[in-house]
Chains A and B, each alone.
Chain A
Amino acid sequence: MKILIVEDDPTLREELSTLLRSAGCEPLPVTDFTRTLDCMRQADADLILLDITLPGMDGEALLREYRRSADTPVIMLTSRTSEVDEVLSMSAGADDYVSKPYRPAVLLLRISAVLKRASGTGEVLRYRDAELSPTRGSLIRAGQEVVLTKNEMIVFRTLLARRGEIVSRDELMTALWDNDEYVNDNALTVNVSRLRSKLADFGWPDAVETRKKQGYVLL
C-alpha cells in the first residue's frame, strides 16, 4: 500500500514515514514543495496524507486543483484549531480529516477505513475456510455458525485485517472505542478470550496468539 505524505515539517514527515512503514505501508514523502501538485499527480499512490498548511499553495487549494484530474483518496491533516478548516477540506474533496496532534492509532484506523471505503465494501471477509458475515454478526463454515458479539466482531475484524502481524492492545482499544464500545482493560481481555473459545469451537484453539507485552496475532 503506497501512501504519499505531503507534510512540510521534516520531523513530522520522518516520523509519519516510520509509523506507516511499521504498519506495513510504503510511505512516499514529498520533499520538493515547489511542485507538490506534480508529485501528487505522478506518485501513483493508494492514498494521500495532505497537510493543510504548506509553503506556497495551501493544502485546500492544492486539493481542489488535484481533484480535477484524480480521485485518489485523500486524508487532510489539519492543525488549525477552528472547525471551519474541516468543513472546507471536506468540501474541497477530502475523504476524511485528522486534526493535529493526532493519535497515531487513530490516524492508522482512519487510513484503513478510507482505504476500505475506496476499495469497495463488497469484498467477502474470509478466515481460513470460514466466511465472516458482518450483517449476521457471525462466522460461518459449511453449515456451522458461531455468533459473535459486536465487540468480538470488532476485535476479530481488526485482527483479520492485519493477519499474521502483531496487533497491539492499544490498536484493538482504538478500534473498539471508535465504534462506540467504551470498554475497559478487563473487558478487552474478556472479549479476546471469548473470541478465542468461540474459534476453538471451530477447531482452531490456537488461532489467536498472545505476545507478551506486545499484543495479539491472528494466525
Chain B
Amino acid sequence: MTARAFLRDRLPAILIRAFAHLLTVIFLLAFRIPHQALAAAILLPLCGAVPAELWEYRRRKRFYDRLKNNAEGLERKYLLSETLPDPDFAEGRILKETLRDAGKSMAEEAAECRRDADAFREYIELWVHEIKLPLAAMRLLCYNGGCGRCGEQMNRMDDCVENVLFYARSGSPEKDYVIGPVSLKRVFSDAAQRHREELQSRGVSIRTEGLDTAVYTDAKWLAWILGQLMSNSMKYFSPEKDREPQIIVSAEELPDRTVLRFRDNGIGIPARDLPYIFEKSFTGQNGRARPGSTGMGLYVAKKLCARLGHGMEAESEEGKYTEIRLLFGKSGYTAPLSAENAPRDPNLSEM
C-alpha cells in the first residue's frame, strides 16, 4: 500500500473535512476575530487530523503489506487467511474472515473433486481389469478359430485399453508402482512381443545392443513406455521404398546413470516442433499430416517417467532419425544428458 493510494482513498473524507473547515473559517471571519486566533483556528485542527491519518495509514499499511507479501510467497494462495495476524481494525477482520470462509469452501470443493477423480480412476482400473477377461477369451477364440485378422484387431483393442489405464495412472498422486531391479532385455522383449504383429507387418527390423543390464524401475510401466515409442516409430516411418524401417535400441552405462537410446530411421521431427513434443495434445507437422496422432503418447510417457524419477529427452534430424533417450539414475536425480539437445522448457523458449 503506497501513501498515494491511501491518500486517494481518503480524498473524499479529507475534502469534506476541508470544506467544513472552510465554513468554520468563513464563520469566524464574519465575527471579525483577531488574526492570531484565526490562524490558531485554522492550524490547530490539523494537529489532530494529520497524526490521525498517519496512524491510520501505518496500521493499514502494515496489514495489507503483510497480506500481499504472504500471498506472493505462498504457493497455495487459498491458505492465505491462515498466515495473517488478527488485524486491529474492523475492515481487516471482515476481510480475514471472508478469506477464511472462501478458502474453506474452496478446500471442500477441491477435496470433493479429488474424491471424484480418485473414484473415477479406481473405477477405470477396475473396468480395465474387467474388460481384460472378455479380451482374453476373445483372443483365445480367435486363435483357436484360426482367425488371424480378428487377432490383430484384438491386439489393437488391448493396446487402447492399456493406454486408458496408463493415462489414468499418469495423473494420479498415488504410488501404484513397484520399483525394483528390472532387466532391460526382458522388458524390451515384452514390449516387442506385444507389438510383434504390427512390427512384422511393416517389416521393421530391430537391433538391440547392450541390453544385458538392469535398471531400477517398474517393469510394466517401462514396457508400456517402450511400447508407445514403438508405435510412434511405426507411425512415422519413411514412405520411401528403399529405406528399410529400422529400430535400434541400445543401452549405455555411465558412472551415474544408465541411458537407454531408442532410435528409428523414420521421417524425424522438424526442429521447431521438437521442443513441444512432450506437451499434451501436441501433434505438430508430422501429426497433422497423418491420421491416428493424438498427441497423448509422449505426454503420458514423459509424465510416467517423471513419476518414476527417470529423465526423458528427444533428439531428431528431419528426414533422418528420431532418438528418444530414457535416463535411469543410479541415485535419484537425473539431469539431462546434454543441455543443448535437451528439449527446452517451452515456457522459457517463448521468452
B interface SS class: helix
Task: Kindly list chain B residues whose C-beta atoms are within 8 Å of the C-beta of A42.
Answer: none
- Shortest distance in angstroms between A81's beta carbon and chain B's nearest beta carbon? 6
- Check: A209 CB closer than 8 A to any chain B CB: no
Q: Is the CB of A100 within 8 A of B133?
A: yes
- Check: A158 CB closer than 8 A to any chain B CB: no
Q: Is the CB of B178 within 8 A of A84?
A: yes
Residue of B nearest to A84 (CB): B178
- Check: B220 CB closer than 8 A to any chain A CB: yes
- Shortest distance in angstroms between A155's beta carbon and chain B's nearest beta carbon? 16
- Check: A19 CB closer than 8 A to any chain B CB: yes
Given contacts A12-B136, A104-B140, whether A83 and B218 have CB atoms under 8 Å apart is yes
Binding stretch for chain B, among A31-39, A146-154, A178-186: A178-186
Q: Is the CB of A22 within 8 A of B144?
A: yes
Q: Is the CB of A12 within 8 A of B137?
A: yes
- Check: B71 CB closer than 8 A to any chain A CB: no
- Check: B165 CB closer than 8 A to any chain A CB: yes
| Beta-carbon contacts under 8 Å, B195-218 to A | 196, 199-200, 203-208, 211, 218
- Check: A138 CB closer than 8 A to any chain B CB: no
Max chain B C-beta neighbours (<10 A), residue from A9, A22, A81: A81
- Check: B19 CB closer than 8 A to any chain A CB: no
Residue of B nearest to A101 (CB): B136
- Separation of A101 and B131 alpha carbons in the complex (Å): 9
- Shortest distance in angstroms between B89's beta carbon and chain A's nearest beta carbon? 57
Instruction: Tally A-B pairs: CB < 8 A.
Output: 94
Q: Is the CB of A101 within 8 A of B196?
A: no
Task: Kindly list chain A residues whose C-beta atoms are within 8 Å of the C-beta of B143.
Answer: 19, 104-105
- Check: A102 CB closer than 8 A to any chain B CB: yes
- Separation of A102 and B133 alpha carbons in the complex (Å): 10
- Shortest distance in angstroms between A174's beta carbon and chain B's nearest beta carbon? 7
Given contacts A79-B129, A83-B178, whether A102 and B205 have CB atoms under 8 Å apart is no
Task: Kindly list chain A residues whose C-beta atoms are within 8 Å of the C-beta of B135.
Answer: 100-101
- Shortest distance in angstroms between B158's beta carbon and chain A's nearest beta carbon? 6
Q: Is the CB of A16 within 8 A of B220?
A: no
- Separation of A185 and B202 alpha carbons in the complex (Å): 10
- Separation of A102 and B176 alpha carbons in the complex (Å): 22
Q: Is the CB of B200 within 8 A of A81?
A: no
Q: Is the CB of B218 within 8 A of A184?
A: no
- Shortest distance in angstroms between A181's beta carbon and chain B's nearest beta carbon? 9
- Shortest distance in angstroms between B193's beta carbon and chain A's nearest beta carbon? 5
Q: Is the CB of B129 within 8 A of A81?
A: yes
Q: Is the CB of A81 within 8 A of B128?
A: yes
| Beta-carbon contacts under 8 Å, A1-59 to B | 9, 11-12, 15-16, 18-19, 22
Q: Is the CB of B133 within 8 A of A12?
A: yes
Q: Is the CB of B196 within 8 A of A81?
A: no
- Check: A87 CB closer than 8 A to any chain B CB: yes
Task: Kindly list chain A residues whose C-beta atoms are within 8 Å of the C-beta of B271.
Answer: none
Task: Kindly list chain B residues whose C-beta atoms are within 8 Å of the C-beta of A83.
Answer: 177-178, 218-220
- Check: B118 CB closer than 8 A to any chain A CB: no
Residue of A nearest to B204 (CB): A184
- Shortest distance in angstroms between A184's beta carbon and chain B's nearest beta carbon? 5
Q: Is the CB of A12 within 8 A of B140?
A: yes
Task: Kindly list chain B residues whose C-beta atoms are within 8 Å of the C-beta of A22.
Answer: 144
Q: Is the CB of B193 within 8 A of A178?
A: yes
Give the contacting residue for B132; candidates A11, A19, A100, A185; CB below 8 A.
A100
- Separation of A178 and B129 alpha carbons in the complex (Å): 25
Given contacts A81-B165, A83-B219, A182-B192, whether A100 and B136 have CB atoms under 8 Å apart is yes
- Shortest distance in angstroms between B8's beta carbon and chain A's nearest beta carbon? 62
Q: Is the CB of A81 within 8 A of B125?
A: yes
Task: Kindly list chain A residues whose C-beta atoms are within 8 Å of the C-beta of B203.
Answer: 184-186
- Shortest distance in angstroms between B224's beta carbon and chain A's nearest beta carbon? 10
- Shortest distance in angstroms between A189's beta carbon and chain B's nearest beta carbon? 12
Task: Kindly list chain B residues whose C-beta atoms are within 8 Å of the C-beta of A103.
Answer: 139, 193
Residue of B nearest to A82 (CB): B176
- Separation of A87 and B180 alpha carbons in the complex (Å): 11
Q: Is the CB of A178 within 8 A of B219?
A: no
| Beta-carbon contacts under 8 Å, A119-141 to B | none
- Separation of A180 and B196 alpha carbons in the complex (Å): 12
Q: Is the CB of A177 within 8 A of B132?
A: no
- Check: A61 CB closer than 8 A to any chain B CB: no
- Shortest distance in angstroms between A19's beta carbon and chain B's nearest beta carbon? 6
Cβ contacts A to B, 22 pairs, < 8 Å: A11-B137, A12-B133, A16-B140, A18-B140, A79-B132, A80-B129, A81-B125, A81-B129, A81-B165, A83-B178, A87-B178, A100-B132, A101-B132, A101-B139, A101-B158, A103-B139, A103-B193, A105-B143, A174-B196, A177-B196, A182-B199, A184-B204
